[in-house]
């Protein structure tokens, strides 16, 4: 109870929430940190976990670009169909 009160009073919770919001807004960051946490929790070597997390973050960048392209094509198709 004392830890919770002190963390809120001293601003730790707001500082942590700002960091979490920054991570959640970026697909690469979220992929990197979530995969790193998962790999470390499953007992993976730290060096291997970091390398795999970097690879997954890189792959998420390409997947994001693919989804943006598909979204653009969908919008164009929707515009054509709605104009007819």
> What domain count does the chain have?
1
Residue ranges of the alpha helices (H) in 1-84? 2-9, 12-25, 27-41, 46-83
Domain for residue 5, yes or no?
Answer: no
- Give the integer Cα–Cα distance in Å for 83 and 77: 10
Identify the domain containing residue 50 by its residue range: 26-83
- Give the integer Cα–Cα distance in Å for 84 and 64: 31
Output the pLDDT for position 25. Answer: 84
pLDDT at position 34 over 90: yes
Sign for the pseudo-dihedral over CA of 52, 58, 61, 67:
negative
pLDDT at position 58 over 90: yes
Identify the band that residue 41 occupies on the pLDDT scale cut at 50, 70 and 90: very high
Domain for residue 44, yes or no?
Answer: yes
Domain for residue 20, yes or no?
Answer: no
pLDDT at position 13 over 80: no
Residue 23 near residue 44, CB atoms below 8 Å = no
Domain for residue 57, yes or no?
Answer: yes
Domain for residue 47, yes or no?
Answer: yes
Domain for residue 1, yes or no?
Answer: no
pTM: 0.69
């Amino acid at each position: 109870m004392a830890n919770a009160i002190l963390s809120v009073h001293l601003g730790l919770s707001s500082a942590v929430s700002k960091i979490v919001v920054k991570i959640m807004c970026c697909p690469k960051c979220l992929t990197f940190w979530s995969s790193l946490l998962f790999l470390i929790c499953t007992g993976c070597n730290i060096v291997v976990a970091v390398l795999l997390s970097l690879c997954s973050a890189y792959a998420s960048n390409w997947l994001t670009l693919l989804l943006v392209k598909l979204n653009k094509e969908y919008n164009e198709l929707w515009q054509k169909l709605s104009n007819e």
